[in-house]
Amino acid sequence: MIDMERTLFHKILILFTIICSIACSLAKDNLIDASKLEMFVDELPDMPRIRGYEVVGGVSKSKSLNIGMFKKAWKFHRDLPPTPVYAYGLDQDKATVPGPTIEALHGVNTDVTWQNHLPPNHILPWDPTIPTPLPNKTNGIPTVVHLHGGIHASDSDGNANSWFTAGFERRGPTWTNNVSHYPNNQHPGNLWYHDHAMGLTRVNLLAGLIGSYIIRDPSIEVPLRLPHGDKFDRPLIVFDRSFRTDGSIYMNSTGNNPSVHPQWQPEYFGDAIIVNGKAWPRLTVQKRKYRFRIINASNARFFRFFFTNGLKFTHVGSDSAYIEKPVETNETLLGPSEITDIIVDFSKSRSSVVILANNAPYPFPSGDKVNKANSKVMKFIILPNKTVDDSQIPKTLIKYPSGDLSSVSQTRYIAMYEYTSNTDEPTHLLINGKPYEAPVTETPKVGSTEVWYVINLTEDNHPLHIHLGLFKVLEQIELVKSKEFKECMTKLNDAIKCHVDKYTRGKKVTVPAHESGWKNVYKMNPGFVTKIVVRFSYIHTNASYGFDATAEPGYAYHCHILDHEDNAMMRPLKIIK
C-alpha cells in the first residue's frame, strides 16, 4: 500500500514537473529575444516640445498647460507589434513615450494640470503586499507627477500620497489641488517629470510615464555659446524594456519571494535599450558639436556610456545644474534618474559611424555582464562634409557658491538596509530601519546647510535622491570590518553608538570632476560611507525660497532604484522654520 502511494506520488510529481516545464517553455517562448531584433533601424525621435511660457508683446508671461496621461499603442521598434503603454501628452493622439519636453523660462511660472485618463486596470502586474494606495486593482490607476529636480512648494512636488485616479474620482490623503505650480525660480538646467504614486512608481514608469523638463535662462546661457537649437541640443531619455511576442511590455509576474510578495522583484532589467521611445535608434549628424542632455530613466539599470571609436564626452552639467568648468572623459557612469549634460564633437570622430555603447554590469556593481542586446545604445551616422559650427565649449561655465562647511547646522547619519528571507532573497529595503509611514526624523531648517553621512550596508549601489535640497559629494570612504559594523547597526540602528568613525578608515574613492558640482542624485557605493553637504536654499543666489517650504505635505528622500523605492526605501523630509 505504501509502495503504491509512493508510486502515485512520483507519477503526480513527474506530471507536475512536465506541466511546469511546458508552462515555463511557453512563457519563455512568449518573450522576444532582444538580440534577434535588428539594431539601428529606427530614427531617433525628438519628443514634442511644449513651451511652459508664452511671449506677449515681446514679454514672457506665465502659461497654464493641461497634460494628460493616456493609454495608447506605441511602436518601440520597426519589427515589434504596437505596445500598450501609458503616455503623457496634450491629447491622446499627441501623447508620446517619453512625454513631451517642457521648456520653461527662469523666473516665469508654469502651471500644469496633470490629468489622469487611464483605465481602471493596469497593464502590468501590481503587488498589493507592498504599500500601495488601492489594494483593489480594478478601482483605477493612482498617479501623481513629481518634477524631479524642481524647487517648489511641496503641494506641487508629487508627494507619494497625493495620488489621484481618473477624473480625480479617488484621491490620496495628502492630495490638495489638481494644478501643479512650478515657479522656475531656480538655476537653469535639466529636470524630468515622472510618476511618483506610492508603491506604484516602478510599474507606472515602466508603462511609460516619463518626460523631460528644461529650465532655460538666456541671460547667462546665451553668452556660453554652447550648441543650441532643436537640431543640435537634444534630450536623450534612455531606459530598458523587455517585450513579449505580441509587443506588450514584459514584467515578471512572480516575485522572488512569492510567499511574501506575490509579484515584487528587487530589480527590473530589460534587454532592449530604448532612447526617446525607440530601441537602439540611429541619428544622422553633421561634423560639428552637439549637446545631449542624457537622462537615465531606467528602473534599476546603471549605464556606463562610451563610444566604441574612442570619441570623448565633454561634460557641462550634472543633474539640474551646470558645473564650473567643462570636463572631458572617455566614459560616464549614470545611475537611475541621474542626468548628464554633455557636448560631443563629431568632427573629431575617426570614423563615419559611431556607436554609443554600455558596459555597466546589472545589478550594479557586481551583477551580470552586459550581453549583445544591452551593450549597445544607439548609432550616430556622421555626414562626410564639415559644416559651419558657431558653437563653442568655453573654458568656464557657471560657478555657484561652494558648500560652506562653516555654516553647517546639523549632521545626520543615513543608513541603508536590505532585509532578506531565509532563502537569502530580498524582502524589503529601508532607510534608517524605518518605513515611509514612520514619523519623520529628518527636519532641516529653511536656508540651512547640513552634512549627511550616507552609510550603505547593502551589496547594491543605491542612487540617493533628495527632493527640494541640492547637495555636493565630498568623499566616499570604504568601511573596514564591515560585517562587524553591520551587525551592530542591525542591532542598534545607531551609527554613533556603533562608533562609525572606527570603521570609516578604508580606501577613499575620488569624486569624478564632472560630478563634483551640485546634484540631486548620487550613487552610494556598497560598503561605503558617502559624505555629502546638503543645501536647503537656492544655490545661485543663496537666498531662501520664494514659497513656504514648511507647508504640508512635505518632501521625501529615497533610493531611485524604483523597485527599492516602492518597497520601501523612502523616508519623509519635513522642512521647518
* Per-residue pLDDT tens over the stretch 32-80: 999 999 999 999 999 999 999 999 999 999 999 999 999 999 999 999 9
Res 57: pLDDT: 94
Give all domains of the chain, ordered by start, each with its CATH number: 34-218 (2.60.40.420), 233-386 (2.60.40.420), 405-573 (2.60.40.420)
Number of DSSP helices (H) and strands (E) in the chain, helices first: 6, 32
Res 495: pLDDT: 98
Res 136: pLDDT: 65
Res 544: pLDDT: 84
Sequential DSSP letters for 503-559: H--S-EEPPPGGGSS-BSEEEE-TTEEEEEEEE-S-TTT-PPPSS-TTSTT-EEEEE
| pLDDT above 60 for 31 | yes
Res 135: pLDDT: 66
Res 542: pLDDT: 76
* Per-residue pLDDT tens over the stretch 121-170: 999 999 999 989 876 666 899 999 999 999 999 999 999 999 999 999 99
| pLDDT above 50 for 174 | yes
| pLDDT above 60 for 11 | no
Least confident segment among 320-329, 453-462, 535-544? 535-544
Q: How far apart are CA 299 and CA 270, in angstroms?
A: 10
CA-only gyration radius of the chain, Å = 24
Give how far Cα 121 sits from Cα of 22, 138, 154, 166, 200, Å: 29, 5, 29, 11, 13
| pLDDT above 70 for 9 | no
- What confidence category does residue 543 fall into, taking pLDDT thresholds of 50, 70 and 90? confident
Mean of the pLDDT values across residues 66-95?
A: 98
Give how far Cα 94 sits from Cα of 44, 114, 364, 431, Å: 17, 15, 36, 40
| pLDDT above 80 for 29 | no
Res 133: pLDDT: 87
What pTM, to 2 d.p., does this model score? 0.94
| pLDDT above 90 for 22 | no
Find out whether 472 and 532 touch, Cβ atoms under 8 Å. yes
Res 240: pLDDT: 98
Res 28: pLDDT: 52
Place of cell 532573497: 425
| pLDDT above 60 for 366 | yes
Mean of the pLDDT values across residues 483-488?
A: 97
| pLDDT above 70 for 295 | yes
Return phi, psi of residue 553, to 5°.
Answer: -95, 5
Sequential DSSP letters for 129-176: TS--S-SSTTS---B-EEEET--S-GGGS--TT--B-GGG-SB-TT--
∠ CA 66-72-74, nearest 5°, is 115
Mean of the pLDDT values across residues 451-458?
A: 98
Q: Which letter, b or e, does each residue of 189-224 get, where b requires 16 or more Cβ atoms within 10 Å of its Cβ?
A: bbbbbbbbbbbbbbbbbbbbbbbbbbbbbeeebeeb
| pLDDT above 70 for 439 | yes
Sequential DSSP letters for 440-502: P-B-PBTT-EEEEEEEE-SSS-EEEEESS-EEEEEEEEEPSSHHHHHHHHHHH--TTTTTHHH
Pairing of the two strands 449-456 and 408-420: parallel
Tell me the average pLDDT of the chain: 94
* Per-residue pLDDT tens over the stretch 506-530: 999 999 999 999 999 999 999 999 9
Res 134: pLDDT: 77
* Per-residue pLDDT tens over the stretch 243-267: 999 999 999 999 999 999 999 999 9
Helix (H) or strand (E) holding 572: strand 570-573
Residue type, 222: V
Find out whether 485 and 531 touch, Cβ atoms under 8 Å. no
* Per-residue pLDDT tens over the stretch 213-241: 999 999 999 999 999 999 999 999 999 99
Sequential DSSP letters for 169-235: -SB-TT---SEEEE---S-SEEEEEEE--TTTHHHHHHTT-EEEEEEE-HHHHGGGT---STTTEEE
